[in-house]
A and B are shown apart, each in its own frame.
Chain A
């Protein structure tokens, strides 16, 4: 799954009106760099939850961990891994 690519497309289309997506590098700071504001963050989290079928807890909506495409990918990968581990052991799914 190309998490970074999908998130980059989402941000380019919905958050950054009119910016060509190649300008967002993997390490470009999105929030601290002024590209995404608090309302943009609500949209971003909604998108991540719907697209990757994960759920964020209050503490996880963090400026630093979601500030770059790299960071976002890491958060999503961890959440997906947690979910698969839960499913494999027959336990309750961590969503």
Chain B
């Protein structure tokens, strides 16, 4: 068992003994440096072996890890570091990562203390702090409607509720090879790394450069002999379509889980036909609650009906607000709250029969057989490739650009039924800002998944009688764009729809 593979990263294998020694050694370095329980340690790292060692190192030291994607724009990374008041930051693309103390600028060497010293220190119980179930494990920063990311604080109880249930339900064991292409900053990533630790399964890391290249992903699943896969539906849809997943066999692939957005019925049926022996399941839940309902896709699912989000997981309690149809979710996996935002936290929680629930903002319907169906959103949050996006955040980013007076964003379906984001802007004057400049500005301030697909310049942003932006009218313009009516451009790169 100690020599069994814990992490596989391309040609590199780290066994459980090495993972434990490295993590414990890192934890000891943190404690020695003065890291206190619940200090925040920011991991600005791609999902690598070192990132996972950093996760366990932080947790053994009693700290809270804050995963931040290194491809986020610098400005957003810095805002998140400040917002989370991170004490340490671990970063760098190459080995070894740099560890810096943000309070004094001192650095901590990555190089481990000796294995013997680690074992001795771990054996004496007082060298590392004790952690309670209610202590925070991690903070996940997610899109915020006012333009500032919100930090979702998840406790050890919350994370383990989902992980323990998934381990039991999907019978994860030491022969499993789990792959989850989601970055560490997404709740999906608690599945692979903690099931590895809980069940002795192998966490096979998906190389970052292939995550969005479907045919390489299909090749990866075959060659790395993945037995258990967990991703957003968009990635699976790409693997089925561009990756021609159905042309190959996957004898070992026994569990395929997906979450994060609606998976269209026909695609689910295609997935089952491509991997007929695998158990496919739709997992549902926002970051604030992790997974709270799930649906095992029946073998005879023909794809003509929408896929339910299913029934509650045993650790979750869900109910529906009768007046709005909104799903309220609570139970052990519920977040502790938003980091440093007590007002937002208070507003988002509802109390019902003495229990605390998170207002998901998702409208649902309940079928007679007890399965819930997702109907739509109550607000302007959209899902694109499984990423959660507050359109207000895109509007704020654009409106802050020099030369732009006003911005509004809507989501529309593109020709391939994918969610596209269309931003509309009113410039100070014709040519005050070009499309390339506006896009580059977005790329400097928003993470890649939040970048608008199209930016359309309007003379005026349509408004309703009360002066509020008329999103329905904008939606209709977006639809026109999508029907191949591409000739909105003038000669010099400021495509303008004159209205």
Q: Which residues of A come within 8 Å of B, CB atoms?
A: 13, 16-20, 22-24, 28-29, 32-35, 37-39, 41-42, 45-46, 58-59, 61-62
Contact = CB atoms under 8 A, between A and B. Distances in A.
Contacts of A29: 440
B488 A18 contact: yes
Contacts of B486: 13, 17-18
Contacts of A32: 443
22 contacts: A13-B486, A16-B435, A17-B488, A20-B489, A22-B493, A28-B436, A32-B443, A33-B436, A33-B439, A33-B440, A34-B442, A34-B448, A37-B449, A38-B211, A38-B385, A38-B448, A38-B449, A42-B212, A42-B214, A58-B210, A58-B216, A61-B209
B105 to A, nearest CB: 28
Max chain A Cβ within 10 angstroms of own Cβ: one of B213, B481, B488, B490: B213
Contact of A46 (B242, B442, B453): B242
Given A34-B443, A41-B212, A20 B481 contact: no
B64 interface: no
B204 to A, nearest CB: 15
B contact residues, range: 35 or more
B300 interface: no
B434 interface: yes
A62 B208 CA distance: 10
Given A17-B481, A18-B488, A22-B493, A35 B436 contact: yes
Contacts, number: 83
B213 A18 contact: no
Given A42-B213, A58-B209, A17 B454 contact: yes
Interface in B138-155: none
Contacts of A58: 207, 209-210, 213, 216, 219
Contacts of A24: 436
B435 A23 contact: yes
B132 interface: no
Given A61-B210, A61-B213, A37 B453 contact: yes
A19 B489 contact: yes
Given A18-B487, A34-B451, 10 more contacts: A19-B493, A22-B492, A24-B436, A28-B436, A42-B214, A42-B238, A42-B242, A58-B207, A58-B216, A58-B219
Given A32-B443, A34-B439, A37-B453, A19 B209 contact: no
B495 interface: yes
Interface in B370-416: 385
Contacts of B443: 32-34
Nearest to B234: A39
A39 B492 contact: no
A29 B213 CA distance: 20
Contacts of B448: 34, 37-38
B323 interface: no
Nearest to A32: B443
B397 to A, nearest CB: 11
B418 interface: yes
Nearest to B439: A34
Interface of B: 207, 209-214, 216, 219, 238, 242, 385, 418, 434-436, 439-440, 442-443, 448-449, 451, 453-454, 456, 481, 486-493, 495
A40 B440 CA distance: 16
Nearest to A15: B453
B456 to A, nearest CB: 7
Contacts of B435: 16, 19, 23
A37 B451 CA distance: 8
Contacts of A23: 434-436, 492-493
Contacts of B492: 20, 22-23
A1 to B, nearest CB: 25
Contacts of B449: 37-38
A28 B208 CA distance: 24
Given A18-B487, A20-B490, A20-B493, A34 B454 contact: no
B493 A45 contact: no
Given A17-B486, A34-B440, A59 B454 contact: no
Contacts of A35: 436, 439
Given A35-B439, A38-B448, A42-B242, A18 B489 contact: yes
A58 B242 CA distance: 15
A19 B456 CA distance: 10
A43 B216 CA distance: 14
Max chain A Cβ within 10 angstroms of own Cβ: one of B212, B436, B443, B489: B436
Max chain B Cβ within 10 angstroms of own Cβ: one of A17, A22, A24, A33: A17
A39 B456 contact: no
B491 A20 contact: yes
A22 B495 CA distance: 12
Contacts of B242: 42, 46
B60 to A, nearest CB: 34
A93 B179 CA distance: 34
Contacts of A41: 212-213
A18 B439 contact: no
Contacts of B488: 17-18
A59 B209 CA distance: 7
Contacts of B490: 20
Contacts of A37: 448-449, 451, 453
A17 B492 CA distance: 14
